[in-house]
Amino acid sequence: MTSTIDPSTIGKAKSRRHIRTLTGYTAETDAAGKEKWPIGDEKVWKEGIPPVTTEVPQITKSVVHHVHTSLARQAYNLDNLGAYQATAMSTRDNLLANWNETQLHYNRKAPKRAYYLSLEFLMGRTLDNALLNLGLKQQYGDGTQKLGFNLEDLIEQERDAGLGNGGLGRLAACYLDSSASQELPVWGYGLRYKYGIFQQLISPDGSQLEAPDPWLEHDNPWELARSDVTYHIRFYGYAERLEGGRALWQGGQEVLAMAYDVMIPGYATKNTNNLRLWESKPKRGFDLQSFNAGDYERAVEASNSAEAITSVLYPNDHTTFGKELRLKQQYFWTAASLADIMRRFKNTGKDVSEFPDYVAIQLNDTHPTLAIPELMRMLVDEEELPWDKAWEIVCNTFFFTNHTVLPEALEKWPVGLMENLLPRHMQIIYDIVSVWAFLQAVEKKFPGDKDRLARMSLIEEGFPKNVRMANLACIGSRKVNGVAELHSELVRQTIMKDFVEFYGVSKFSNVTNGITPRRWLDQCNPGLSNLISETLKVPKATFLKDLYKLEGLLEHVDDPAFQKRWAAVKQSNKERLAQHIESTLGLKVNTRAMFDVQIKRLHEYKRQTMNIMGVIHRYLTLKDMTPEQRTKVNPKVVFFAGKAAPGYYIAKLTIRLIVNVARIINEDPETKDLLSLYFLPDYCVSLAEVLIPASDISQHISTAGTEASGTSNMKFCLNGGLLVGTVDGANIEIAEEVGESNVFFFGNLTPAVEDLRYQHMYHPVPIEQKCPPLARVINEVAEGRFGDGGVYEPLLNTIRQNDYYLLTEDFDSYIKALELVDQAYQDRTEWIKKSIRTSAKMGKFSSDRAIMDYAQEYWNLEQTSVG
Ligand SMILES: *Cc1c(COP(=O)(O)O)cnc(C)c1O
């Protein structure tokens, strides 16, 4: 599929554009067909290219250089933050050397490229990851030491890039790491939010407070502002239909999209891909006319509204709110990205009919679905292609990943809102509908089945009428995938059922999610990574590039010396976490206890409420025991972390309950050595990196059929933590790999859930009867044992009333599963063996495997090494 530029097209391309463009490359050749150096003296140019600094003396020089020139500071007044910035800029120089080579390589070879469109990229910190991927961590550590700084302290200075809510955004970040590491020509496209996911604070009464996340407060050394890569993006106005299905969209408002590039280094390769993030800006700065008329406020207003588009990430996970600004974000981002993709495609000189041979676009959830009508608009209105030809190109370009079957998460946009903001796109959607309905009629597959047609329509009837984004994404894409086997099956059986019957099942498949072992093993748990490397007697790159290699650990499972070292790594990670908690929160944690962790977005379907109810149950059980009985109990520390959407009242109440339960039980002299509880505020990637390696057991306890995949379950297992979980999402596939004896499963299965909900609706049974232990816990909370019980009534009522997430159905088996965990932990050697076996079988869950699935099964993409 990859090919070099066809020389016969070069003249054609040149006539349209400048030879030296930022993103395009058009080679000029001499008579012999040899490529000419584009400008100036080739030798002088080549000597001027900065070398990659791999030796300590060069590194210290480059850091000092940045201290003096980029920061205008000196040794006399350099703090950790300044030293971090200079170190980051020196590292960036190295990334850029590879990045430049990679982009030139791609432009020369003009391979098929894939683009990952995601409204969220939860990147976390960059410095540590960049140094590890470059293989320069040791050298930079030595270099900064010579300059009087400790590299680990500098790494801590960096703020997380929190441009995402949770799993979906972190998945996008892992996929970028794997694309570069697998030498695949993949770019990410997203938005450069000025404020990422809010900072979570806990108020004195235990509630969540939100503060803005000013992550760009200090210069961001990891991005390159491309003031020369801009596009005009139109909103509002009117669309006038012309002949041949075309239309002219005019008027309204135009804003400017400006590119920022973030370098994405591959691990142990030169290949360095790009993540392009768009920032919105007013088209002409101030509206001069208003300004001259003395209407200063109005002039500033226009600039405010343009800038508002990329000012803030919407903090909802798995829910939609239908705000106009959100729709603006989606169009702004997809339109800028497609314009950029089209420009890059045209630089190859190919005909637009070949677009799908050179471009694959993955839609990360329905958020970028407007890319489908936008590409239609470009092809029909601008390229003047016939409608059918344009539609064929579109349907061969896009691939759609569904991330949830929860009804509240399925995006719909009111037709009126769309008509006003994007009049031309609404026309196109209606045109797709009529062609679609026509197809239906022709197929005569399901004669007279009007309900089916109504379900499959892009427009949901009602007041207001809505555009169904998942239906649009499905019919405009070549493939639709879920993110774990069970989830993909549910997609086929529920939200896409009619489409499966229409298209056949082959359009609907599965790519199980993965995580990058670079960040989620080597970076967050260097002790374990070193131990694995020593035990397998291979360099780390061997298993970090091929995670199946961890299976080699299985032959060491029974080696007591290895078991001891394995346990020692876990213990030191627990101590590292305890130190972190002591230095950030001033709390002392018992590191001799079992560490039980649930960290993820707060959501009713994830059932943090069941976990805290379980903690209370354990507390009450301990209180009921005699001191003699208590001596037999294994001490346990329970950790929670996670953010609730600011408008999600019930989820916020759960946080409040956790915090207030912690206050009571951590102070109880009878039990505090046996059970303590921590809610760690402001969950983010960096916090995950210290929590996960310290976990003995972690909880993934969603109501069966609700968690599409989960990825933190994979992170814990890779770090030797065991799972307690429901038969849901990727838990199932993890158990298939590691063996069911190494996973603590409990709870009702997916097929039972619908019936149970029906029972709850129409034949409710009082909790006291259904689940006495849970009834007792609920009563204790209601009666004020953990502070004003009245506060929690709305939360308790979700369980007492229809109990949609089925806590009363699963609580008994949940408690039993936790008892089995306690028993298993008593036999420490057996536990360590389970831990080793679990890590050893995590090969499948590398995001390298996942991204290669996408590349081979969907995108038809080839690896291309920069060399
Ligand atoms: C991995 C990760 C998630 C996803 O966690 P789940 O438990 O799979 O929902 C969310 N947030 C952060 C910061 C993560 O690293």
pLDDT higher than 50, residue 3: no
The answer on pLDDT for 404 being more than 90 is yes
pLDDT score for 11: 33
Centre of ligand 1 to C-alpha 859, Å, is: 26
pLDDT range class, residue 303, cuts 50, 70, 90: low
Lowest mean pLDDT: which of 16-30, 359-373, 518-532? Answer: 16-30
Q: Is 355 contained in some domain?
A: yes
Q: How confident is the model at residue 5 (pLDDT cuts 50, 70, 90)?
A: very low
pLDDT band at 562 (very low <50, low <70, confident <90, very high): very high
**Contact of 94 with 55, CB cutoff 8 Å:** no
Judgement on whether residues 506 and 623 belong to the same structural domain of the protein: no
Quote the ligand 1 centre to 162 CA distance (angstroms): 12
Q: Which residue has the tokens 């059922």?
A: 497
- The CA R_g of the chain, rounded to the nearest whole Å, is 28
Atom of ligand 1 nearest to the CA of 124: 13
Residue of 7 and 646 predicted with greater confidence: 646
Give the SS3 label for residue 824. Answer: helix
Q: Whose CA is nearest to atom 8 of ligand 1?
A: 710
pLDDT of 118: 98
Active site residue 600: yes
One domain, residues 204 and 77: no
CA–CA separation, 723 vs 696, rounded Å? 9
Task: Identify whether residues 119 and 133 lie together within a single domain.
Answer: no
What's the pLDDT score for residue 305? 84
Residues 450-469 have pLDDT tens digits of 788 888 889 999 999 999 99
| Predicted pLDDT of residue 300 | 58
Q: Which of 180, 831, 838, 824 is nearest to 528 (CA)?
A: 838
Query: What is the Å distance from ligand 1's center to 712 Cα?
Result: 5
- Residue 646 CB contacts under 8 Å (≥ 6 apart), including other chains: 198, 208, 210, 315
Examine residue 521 and state whether it is found in any structural domain, yes or no. Answer: no
Query: Rounded to the nearest whole angstrom, what is the distance from the C-alpha of residue 236 to the centroid of ligand 1?
Result: 37
Interval between CA 168 and ligand 1 midpoint (Å): 8
Ligand 1 atom closest to the CA of 711, numbered from 1: 8
Pairing between β-strand 722-726 and β-strand 223-235 as defined by DSSP bridges: unpaired
Per-residue pLDDT at 35 exceeds 90: no
> Which CATH number goes with the domain that contains 495?
3.40.50.2000
- State whether residue 93 is helix, strand or coil: helix
> How remote is the CA of residue 170 from the centroid of ligand 1, in Å?
7
Percent of the chain with pLDDT over 70: 94
Structure confidence by residue, pLDDT tens digits, 346-402 = 999 999 999 999 999 999 999 999 999 999 999 999 999 999 999 999 999 999 999
Q: 2 in a domain, yes or no?
A: yes
CB of 690 closer than 6 angstroms to any ligand 1 atom: no
CA distance 191 to 119: 6
Answer whether residue 43 is part of any domain: no
pLDDT of residue 448: 78
> What is the best residue among 599, 717, 718 to mutate for testing ligand 1's pocket, by most ligand atoms within 8 Å of CB?
599
The ligand 1 atom at the shortest distance from the C-alpha of residue 709 is 8
Q: Is the CB of 771 inside a 6 Å radius of any atom of ligand 1?
A: no
Distances (CA, A) of 757 to 76, 233, 751, 774: 67, 46, 11, 18
Residue of the nearest CA to atom 4 in ligand 1?
167
Q: Is the pLDDT of residue 15 over 50?
A: no
Please report, rounded to a whole number, the percentage of residues in the chain having pLDDT higher than 90. Answer: 87
- The protein residue whose alpha carbon is closest to atom 15 in ligand 1 is 685
> Does pLDDT of 442 surpass 90?
no
Nearest CA residue ID for atom 10, ligand 1:
166
Reply yes or no: is the peptide bond before residue 38 cis, omega within 30 of 0: no
362 ligand 1 Cβ < 6 A: no
DSSP, res 25: -
Ligand 1: atom nearest CA of 688 is: 15
**Does 711 participate in catalysis according to the annotation?**
yes
Q: Which atom of ligand 1 is nearest to the CA of 683?
A: 13
- 213-254, pLDDT tens digit by residue? 999 999 899 999 999 999 999 999 999 999 888 999 998 899
Q: Is 556 a catalytic residue?
A: no
Beta bridge partners of 89: none
Residue 109 annotated as catalytic: no
| pLDDT for 299 beyond 80 | no
- Bin 234: left if φ > 0, else alpha if -120 < ψ < 50, else beta: beta
Give the pLDDT of residue 227: 95
User: What is the CA(691)–ligand 1 centre distance, in A?
Assistant: 12
CA–centroid distance, residue 473 to ligand 1 (Å): 25
pLDDT digits (tens, 9 = 90+) for 264-294: 999 999 999 999 999 999 986 555 555 455 5
Name the H helices within 283-401: 288-292, 296-308, 324-347, 355-358, 371-377, 387-397
Residue 403 bears catalytic tag:
yes
- The pLDDT score that the predictor gives to residue 302 is 61
Express each pLDDT in 466-493 by its tens digit.
Answer: 999 999 999 999 999 999 999 999 999 9
List 367, 403, 425, 643, catalytic entry: 403
Domain contains 526: no
Q: Which atom of ligand 1 is nearest to the CA of 167?
A: 4
367 is catalytic: no
Residues 761-804 have pLDDT tens digits of 999 999 999 999 999 999 999 999 999 999 999 999 999 999 99
Residue 124 Cα to ligand 1 middle (Å) = 12
Enclosing domain of residue 618: 532-845
**359 touches ligand 1 (CB under 6 Å):** no
- Same domain? 299 vs 441: yes
Question: Is the domain of 507 the same as that of 573?
Answer: no
pLDDT of residue 451: 84
The predicted pLDDT at position 13 comes to 35
Q: Give the distance (Å) from ligand 1 centre to CA of residue 256.
A: 33
The answer to whether residue 520 sits within a structural domain is no
pLDDT at 295: 58
- Whether 273 lines ligand 1, by a CB cut-off of 6 Å, is no
Is the domain of 98 the same as that of 242?
no
Spot the catalytic one: 424, 601, 603, 656. Answer: 601
Same domain? 199 vs 186: yes
826 and 760 in a common domain: yes
What atom of ligand 1 comes closest to residue 715's alpha carbon? 1
Are 116 and 364 in contact, with CB atoms under 8 Å apart? yes
H or E segment at 209?
Answer: strand 208-211
**Which tokens hold the place of 645?**
């959407």
- CA 599 to ligand 1: nearest atom: 7
519 in a structural domain: no
Q: Is 404 in the pocket of ligand 1 (CB under 6 A)?
A: no
pLDDT in tens, 848-858: 999 999 999 99
Q: How many helices (H) and strands (E) does the chain have?
A: 37, 24
The whole-number pLDDT of residue 18 equals 35
pLDDT of residue 200: 98
Which residue is catalytic, options 404, 711, 750, 838? 711
What pLDDT score was predicted for residue 119? 98
User: What is the tens place of the pLDDT at every residue in 656-684?
Assistant: 999 999 999 999 999 999 999 999 999 99
Give yes or no for residue 132 having a pLDDT over 90: yes
Mean pLDDT of the chain: 93
Q: Is 600 in the pocket of ligand 1 (CB under 6 A)?
A: yes
CB 710 near ligand 1, within 6 Å: yes
- C-beta of 519 in contact with ligand 1 (< 6 A): no
Is 182 among the domain residues?
A: yes
Q: Do 483 and 574 sit in the same domain of this protein?
A: no
Clarify whether residues 120 and 132 are in a common domain: no
Q: Kindly state whether residues 144 and 224 are assigned to the same domain.
A: no
- Which among 92, 318, 377, 606 is annotated as catalytic? 606
Q: Is 531 helix (H, G, I), strand (E, B) or coil?
A: helix
| Vertex 845 angle, CA 841 and 847, to 5° | 145
Q: CA 150, CA 138: separation in Å to the nearest integer?
A: 12
pLDDT the model gives residue 16: 33
CA 188 to each of CA 275, 312, 328: distance values in angstroms, whole numbers, following the listed order: 4, 19, 19
| Gap from CA of 723 to ligand 1 centroid (Å) | 15
User: Is 796 in a helix, a strand, or coil?
Assistant: helix
Of 235, 229, 156, 167, which Cα lies nearest the Cα of 192? 229
Structurally, the chain folds into a number of domains equal to 4
Domain match, 584 and 478 both: no
Tokens of 610: 């069941």
Q: Whose CA is nearest to atom 1 of ligand 1?
A: 712
pLDDT value at residue 301: 62
CB 700 within 8 A of CB 731: yes
Q: Residue 334: which of 103, 43, 117, 552 has the closest Cα? A: 117
DSSP state of 74: -
